[in-house]
Amino acid sequence: MRRVFLKPKKEESLQRFHPWIFSGAIASFENGQPEEGEIVEVYTSKKNFIAIGHYQIGSIAIRVLSFQQETIDYSFWQRRLQIAYTMRKSIGIATDPTNNTYRLVHGEGDNLSGLIIDIYDRTAVMQAHSPGMHLSRMEIAKALMEVMDGHLDNIYYKSETTLPFKADLFPENGFLIGGSDNNIAMEYGLKFHVDWLKGQKTGFFVDQRENRSLLGKYAEGRTVLNMFCYTGGFSVYALRGNAKSVDSVDSSAKAIELTNQNVALNFPNESRHTAYAEDAFKFLDKMGDRYDLIILDPPAFAKHRDALRNALQGYRKLNAKAFEKIKPGGILFTFSCSQVVTKDNFRTAVFTAAASAKRKVRILHQLTQPADHPINIYHPEGEYLKGLVLYVE
Ligand code: SAH
């Protein structure tokens, strides 16, 4: 196996088990530069072994798979996937009879940097974010079938948009194992069509499950606006929670179609729900002051650090509009899923928005991602979802 040597002192983050090695930390390669996705051994400048990982061309050059000298083969994937599955079973998320939708592998959070696997009933949707995981996809898929021990029939691979395009891997979305048209999954007793063929992420935003469930508890008798509804997740929980009415808004016509389908799947002939295909800012400008429960769950405003300032301004503007219009005694669920926006950044943006609208605001809950999206303690970057539940006087 090819060896990679680090510059002096560049092993420090690895001694603290951080799973990324940046290209600037590398001093030299044995026998030239590795191929995209190649498994390499990493040595300190003093020639001591420190890690093994997937190489890729880019700012993150190596994603660590192990801090021990071991072989990365079928049995390695099987052991790592088993640890992930055992954890989900032990915390009850993979054994809840009302829920068959959960994340089985959350990248660095499961010590598998570059790999995401979501489970929808008997189908797994697997997503590679690194060339190395792409190259290992069949071995991982087979190991996954074994680990899931009869609980899985299909594995769909969905990496067309998540792999670095310069790597020339030509990934194609499609089933690696099995094949199924049944794409209805259940989340806490509610049914959802999951569009793993064309949908965003793995087809569903699994990460909002606990927050949607909390929303359901606040919905009783309220006039609800679900802004950026996508599959209508929050809307369906609000309807179950006896909301007076629920309006769902998304700029994508496809999302509105999905939302209507999911509402109909759970509540046939529901008259309390209306969905609008419209831009968020336009809708907020003209919506009036009838809502007393508003959800703002926008897409990541900043994908990179450079975009942070603009993103914070986006959050300020968006939240200010909600604060201006929400009824006194109203509740605002507001989120940010941008990884580069910290909890403090986000809270400051929302604070500024509240002050500009001159509303009295109290924080009821501080929300984050659920337990099936664990944060590796050595990789704080893995904490990406932030939410605030606010009571607005
Ligand atoms: N709340 C959803 C996830 C939201 S994803 C859930 O629980 O599943 C973000 C959504 O915002 C996407 O569906 C996208 O189509 C929509 N979106 C992006 N820009 C928008 C805009 N300017 N106005 C309205 N919707 C927008």
Segments making up each domain of the chain, as ranges: 3-66, 74-188, 205-392
DSSP run (H or E) holding 64: strand 60-66
- pLDDT for res 160: 85
CA distance 216 to 211: 9
Q: Is the pLDDT of residue 167 over 90?
A: no
Show the DSSP H helices in 97-221 as ranges.
131-135, 137-148, 209-218
Q: Which CATH number fits domain 74-188: 3.60.15.10, 3.30.750.80, 3.60.21.10, 3.30.1360.170?
A: 3.30.750.80
Q: 154 CB less than 6 Å from ligand 1?
A: no
CA distance 194 to 286: 32
Eight-state DSSP code of residue 228: S
Q: Is the pLDDT of residue 13 over 80?
A: yes
Q: For residue 162, report the distance from its CA to the centre of ligand 1, in Å.
A: 19
Q: 205 CB less than 6 Å from ligand 1?
A: yes
CA distance 42 to 48: 8
pLDDT (mean) for 23-37: 96
Q: For residue 61, report the distance from its CA to the centre of ligand 1, in Å.
A: 32
Tokens of 85: 């599955």
Contact 186, 100 (CB under 8 A): yes
Beta bridge pairs of residue 229: none
Least confident residue range of 23-37, 155-169, 246-260, 309-323 = 155-169
- pLDDT for res 164: 82
Choice from 250, 263, 335 to test ligand 1 binding pocket (greatest atom count within 8 A of CB): 250
Give the ligand 1 atom nearest the CA of 230. 13
- pLDDT for res 371: 98
CA distance 43 to 33: 15
Q: 76 CB less than 6 Å from ligand 1?
A: no
SS3 readout for 66-128: ECCCCCCCHHHHHHHHHHHHHHHHHCCCCCCCCCCEEEEEEHHHHCCCCEEEEEECCEEEEEE
Q: For residue 209, report the distance from its CA to the centre of ligand 1, in Å.
A: 16
Q: Is the pLDDT of residue 147 over 80?
A: yes
Q: Mean pLDDT across the chain, nearest whole number? A: 95
Tokens of 17: 């088990």
Q: Is the pLDDT of residue 312 over 90?
A: yes
Q: Is the pLDDT of residue 15 over 90?
A: yes
Tokens of 202: 């793995």
- pLDDT for res 301: 85
Q: 231 CB less than 6 Å from ligand 1?
A: yes
- pLDDT for res 302: 75
Class of residue 343 by CB neighbours under 10 A (exposed 0-12, middle 13-18, buried 19+): middle
- pLDDT for res 254: 94
Q: Return the CATH class of domain 3-66.
A: mainly beta
Q: For residue 246, report the distance from its CA to the centre of ligand 1, in Å.
A: 16
Q: Between β-strands 20-22 and 60-66, what pairing exists: parallel, antiparallel or unpaired?
A: antiparallel
Amino acid at 382: G
CA distance 374 to 245: 34
Per-residue model confidence as pLDDT tens digits over 216-250: 999 999 999 999 999 999 999 999 999 999 999 99
Which residue in 154, 161, 101 sits closest to 127, CA to CA? 161
Choice from 118, 251, 287 to test ligand 1 binding pocket (greatest atom count within 8 A of CB): 251
Q: Is the pLDDT of residue 130 over 80?
A: yes
- pLDDT for res 280: 96
Q: Roughly how many angstroms between the first and final C-alpha of the chain, as a whole number?
A: 63
- pLDDT for res 201: 77
Class of residue 248 by CB neighbours under 10 A (exposed 0-12, middle 13-18, buried 19+): buried
Q: What percent of the chain has pLDDT over 70?
A: 100
- pLDDT for res 326: 98
pLDDT (mean) for 347-357: 98
- pLDDT for res 171: 80
Q: 372 CB less than 6 Å from ligand 1?
A: no
Least confident residue range of 200-204, 207-211, 228-232, 271-275 = 200-204
Give the ligand 1 atom nearest the CA of 297. 1
CATH superfamily of 205-392: Vaccinia Virus protein VP39 (3.40.50.150)
Beta bridge pairs of residue 120: 101, 123
* Helix, strand, coil percent content, the chain, rounded in steps of 5: 35, 25, 40
Per-residue model confidence as pLDDT tens digits over 364-383: 999 999 999 999 999 999 99
